[in-house]
Structure 1
Amino acid sequence: MIGGPARRHPVASVVRGSARPPVSTRRLPVTAFPIQPLSPLDGRYQPVVSPLGDYLSEAGLNRARVEVEVEWIIALTDNSLFGTSALSEDDKARLRALYLTFGQAEIDWLAEREAVTRHDVKAVEYLVRDRLSQLGLDDIAELTHFGCTSEDINSLSYALTVKRAVTGVWLPALRAVVERLRALALEHADAAMLSRTHGQPATPTTMGKELGVFVWRLERVIGQLESTEYLGKFSGATGTWSAHLAAAPVVAWPNIARAFVESLGLTFNPVTTQIESHDWQVELYDRARHAGGILHNLASDIWTYISMGYFAQIPVAGATGSSTMPHKINPIRFENAEANLEIAGGLFTTLAQTLVTSRLQRDLTDSTTQRNIGVAFGHSLLALDNLRRGLGEISLSRDVLLADLDVNWEVLGEAIQTVVRAEVVAGRSQITDPYALLKELTRGRRVGAAELAEFVQGLDIGDEAKERLLALTPATYTGLAERLTRTYL
């Protein structure tokens, strides 16, 4: 053998001769971490999504439950039911402070009580009763949760928290993305760009018009989202007001319930089982998923434009694109947005599919499902943040767009054959098959400016049409793209 007898590598010898088990089966020492967030939304991304926590967290839900319980007591006394009279404005203010100042003390109190009751809404009822006693209002304590099933409270609480999260946090973030996109579309309304239908060179457009398409699509879905009805029920154990009538047969309970629900800024649902049917939630999550699908399309298109050199990424001081390639600026904003939109879309789909069904008069599948509403909107909000920031970190390379157009003169084949057709109809040409003529010239091959000009000069068409075609370039063949952008955006 060349170089003498083979020698065993010392490391290999040690490994082969070792009695140590493979790494995969060895028990490693485990360090006891402090409690860590399992979800990245509560870890590295918490600063971005934290505004949703005011509404769609467990604490946010419980605060809304306290609000509903308190406002129901006020509504019952305002109607002077069971010999009560309306509370003084001072007492109402003290009662409302129970949810307006809801904080860590109430969170801890509810956690301790729920550990005993094993029922979250019952723990809220006990909290309200406890605070009524502290306020010296024991005489109306039995009005707490009066005639209610848990789903009366939950129905209104989820409607309140979701409405406030959507209208106060998520929709403004979506609008911020649309407005940044609108600004880019208007800025680049005249920036001629080669289209890529099926990924192939096609009739030119402008970058502004293509971005404007996303604005137009999103505006339509936002309009649908803004028209969302947030429904609530308040009709007792199986939606019949049976207990209410047993206690007060002559009271118009549906009217009182309607007025109460509407006083909270919600829409009353009078015909339900034990639960509100969740159809408004299904509609909302389907629309949120739809908006996310459009945004996912936007993110993948911007990513592609960056890879083609159409957009340059603006360097961020101190940022690292690659751990080994110093030159790189990775389009991480758009990649992160894509991933989070996919997660959010999957969760929105699951929410809509699960919440549309409840076995007979009620099952518990909706309870666990609705606890993930915040997770779905959290991933969506994270995507919106990345898109907004990403759209602010790109710069259009108009020279690259023009260079791309200048090597694709064959895209004018559409214009030429269409003009020839018009000339044939007008009796100024005898050409028999304009499309076939241009197909033979341009299909699957590059055609330069000079070659195309020579071809046009030899066409059997009128002089005015010929002049129009000779004046045309890929960069000017954009039709109404700029006007569409400026008119509709």
Structure 2
Amino acid sequence: MAGSVHDSTIYSKLFDCGEAGRLFTDSAEVRSMVIVEGALAKAQGALGIIPELSAKFIHRASLELPIDPSGLNAGAAKNGVPVPGLVSAFRKAMEAPEHAQFVHWGATSQDIADTGQMLRLRQLLLLCEDGLKTLLKALATQAEAHADLPMAGRTYGQFATPVSFGSHVAGWGWPLFDLLAELEGLRKSSLWVSLSGAAGTGAEFGEQRDALRAALAEGLGLGDPGRSWHADRGPVLRIAGWLTRLAQILGKMGDDLILMAQSSAGEVRLGASGGSSTMPQKQNPVQPSVLLALARQVIGLNAIMQGAGMPRQERDGAAWFTEWMTLPQLCLSAHAALVTANALVPGLKPQGEKMAEAFSGSQGLLHAEALSFRLARSMPRPEAQDAVKALALEVLASGRTLGEMAREKWPDLDLSGLFAPEEQMGDAPATARRFAAAVAAL
């Protein structure tokens, strides 16, 4: 098996990370760092830190000259970071030593690597934003279409009270809606430029350190943190945390669908399902299983990220290396979950007849709570609860329905609509429609 499912020729379509895959390659990493070097030179030239002619030459070269990532492996192995080898290769490719000497002026490897990473994370968040909007529309369509379709609610894996399939879908969608709303703030709080020099003091830039950092941030379209964050991994951890919540929410949806599609329930039919190598009757919930597996992986990776978020002193090689090994996989798997969900949701087909069987097969006990409230109109609530609990035990023992036995026990009690699931869903239909309306207003 390949080191990553996202790089595997066998598994890459199963765990399809879409366009995000192009952001986490050696070529993309090198390209982002060269762009940072060019933008840094341009900002330094404008402030007179390096000759303006050299700055223009370096900036233009950063846009035109390709750097082969394979030539950086020996340097990375020796130095623990690819930037020294990158700077050397860039200077050589420029073939203009009088200008090349000003490349990387005053910066440190972490400035270039972290800022380049932020450029790629910015693109990833754009992909996530587009994917989220598409997914929310698909969920809203399902919620609106099935707002009034009764379905058994379950708590602790047991029948609870009636909900609707539309409200259940809205339950998947609302947290995603919240994540989308958080994106603007996340970008401001986390997509930062890094320019602090060797030990995070910016001493190499003198009194122009703040102006230079601000100019670099403006040139790259990133935020200016107003300080060094070499040993503060908060920006990266906030992005990783947001992506983890995305995968987690989609994992919950996948897990719910696995349960709803299992043979003993059959409440949902998937638009696409997998087959068995030996059992012809099988229709395996492959896409929901992918969502759950990805969520588990991302949650685990985020735990590793939290551990790497405690770098020692001004820079910690081991913590930084851990971040490199972990963050790309977290990003790709979170986006793969979004890609999978977008392929899954439009094809969901709720099975109304199977959902109705849950109500008839439960002997009416899904309406026990409603019965206790109806009975509480004529007696204290605790007494009503005890009476219905005792009657429920009789129902289970006799094999009869709660409705039949309630009518016999309380013949004068108005039970109209009590045992009709469509009349006992509370605000479930309204919840589904509120979600659909909120998405439509985006």
- The TM-score normalised by the length of structure 2 is 0.86
Please give the alpha-carbon distance, in whole angstroms, between the structure 1 residues aligned to 2:344 and 2:185: 29
Q: How does 1:213-252 map to 2 (within 5 A)?
A: 213-228=171-186, 229-245=190-206, 251-252=207-208
For the pair 1:203 / 2:184, whether they are aligned, the reply is: no
Partner of 2:98, secondary structure, is helix
CA positional deviation for 1:111: 4.6
1:346 and 1:118, CA in 2 relative to 1: closer, same or farther beyond 3 A?
closer
1:304 and 1:129, CA in 2 relative to 1: closer, same or farther beyond 3 A?
same
1:322 pairs with one of 267, 276, 291: 276
Please give the alpha-carbon distance, in whole angstroms, between the structure 2 residues aligned to 1:432 and 1:280: 52
1:315 and 1:153, CA in 2 relative to 1: closer, same or farther beyond 3 A?
closer
Decide which structure has the larger Cα Rg and report it. Answer: 1
Partner of 2:152, secondary structure, is strand
Checking the alignment, whether the CA contact within 8 Å between 1:189 and 1:481 is kept in structure 2 is: yes
For the pair 1:131 / 2:93, whether they are aligned, the reply is: yes
1:435 pairs with one of 373, 377, 385: 385
Aligned to 2:433: 486
1:419 pairs with one of 374, 379, 387: 374
Please give the alpha-carbon distance, in whole angstroms, between the structure 1 residues aligned to 2:286 and 2:298: 18
1:106 pairs with one of 51, 62, 68: 68
Aligned to 2:269: 312
> What does the per-residue CA deviation read over 1:43-65, in whole Å, with 9 as the maximum and x for residues that have no partner?
12335336223222222111111
CA positional deviation for 1:143: 1.7
For the pair 1:264 / 2:226, whether they are aligned, the reply is: no
Please give the alpha-carbon distance, in whole angstroms, between the structure 1 residues aligned to 2:223 and 2:165: 43
Q: How does 1:42-61 map to 2 (within 5 A)?
A: 42-43=7-8, 44-46=10-12, 48-49=16-17, 51-61=19-29
Aligned to 1:18: none
Please give the alpha-carbon distance, in whole angstroms, between the structure 2 residues aligned to 1:119 and 1:448: 70
1:161 and 1:118, CA in 2 relative to 1: closer, same or farther beyond 3 A?
same
1:176 and 1:353, CA in 2 relative to 1: closer, same or farther beyond 3 A?
farther
Please give the alpha-carbon distance, in whole angstroms, between the structure 2 residues aligned to 1:395 and 1:488: 19
342-351 or 170-179, which moves further after superposition?
170-179
Aligned to 1:370: 323
Residue 405 of structure 1 aligns with an amino acid whose one-letter code is F
> What does the per-residue CA deviation read over 1:128-159, in whole Å, with 9 as the maximum and x for residues that have no partner?
212332xxx54332221101111111121111
Aligned to 1:27: none
Aligned to 2:439: none
Checking the alignment, whether the CA contact within 8 Å between 1:45 and 1:382 is kept in structure 2 is: no
Q: How does 1:19-30 map to 2 (within 5 A)?
A: none
CA positional deviation for 1:290: 2.1
Checking the alignment, whether the CA contact within 8 Å between 2:111 and 2:196 is kept in structure 1 is: yes
* Structure 1: 4+ residue segments shifted above 6 A: 115-118
Please give the alpha-carbon distance, in whole angstroms, between the structure 1 residues aligned to 2:383 and 2:80: 80
Residue 219 of structure 1 aligns with an amino acid whose one-letter code is F
Partner of 1:268, secondary structure, is coil
Aligned to 2:142: 184
Aligned to 1:20: none
Checking the alignment, whether the CA contact within 8 Å between 2:247 and 2:291 is kept in structure 1 is: no
State the Cα RMSD in Å.
Answer: 2.8
CA positional deviation for 1:298: 1.3
263-272 or 276-285, which moves further after superposition?
263-272
- The TM-score normalised by the length of structure 1 is 0.78
CA positional deviation for 1:82: 4.8
1:117 and 1:404, CA in 2 relative to 1: closer, same or farther beyond 3 A?
closer
CA positional deviation for 1:119: 4.7
CA positional deviation for 1:87: 6.2
Please give the alpha-carbon distance, in whole angstroms, between the structure 1 residues aligned to 2:98 and 2:382: 96
Checking the alignment, whether the CA contact within 8 Å between 1:233 and 1:270 is kept in structure 2 is: no
1:180 and 1:69, CA in 2 relative to 1: closer, same or farther beyond 3 A?
same
Aligned to 1:38: 3
Task: Return 5+ residue gaps in structure 2 as ranges.
Answer: 437-442
CA positional deviation for 1:391: 2.8
Aligned to 1:29: none
Please give the alpha-carbon distance, in whole angstroms, between the structure 2 residues aligned to 1:477 and 1:152: 60
Partner of 1:371, secondary structure, is helix
Checking the alignment, whether the CA contact within 8 Å between 1:214 and 1:298 is kept in structure 2 is: yes
Please give the alpha-carbon distance, in whole angstroms, between the structure 1 residues aligned to 2:70 and 2:159: 63
1:456 and 1:406, CA in 2 relative to 1: closer, same or farther beyond 3 A?
farther
1:325 and 1:361, CA in 2 relative to 1: closer, same or farther beyond 3 A?
same
Residue 242 of structure 2 aligns with an amino acid whose one-letter code is R
Please give the alpha-carbon distance, in whole angstroms, between the structure 2 residues aligned to 1:84 and 1:313: 61
For the pair 1:395 / 2:363, whether they are aligned, the reply is: no
Partner of 1:139, secondary structure, is helix
Percent identity of paired positions between Structure 1 and Structure 2: 20
1:77 pairs with one of 45, 59, 70: 45
Number of residue pairs aligned between Structure 1 and Structure 2: 421
Tell me: higher relative CO, structure 1 or 2? Use CA pairs within 8 A at least 6 residues apart.
2
> What does the per-residue CA deviation read over 1:416-470, in whole Å, with 9 as the maximum and x for residues that have no partner?
3213324558xxxxx98222222221246252433333444234xxxxxx2xx32
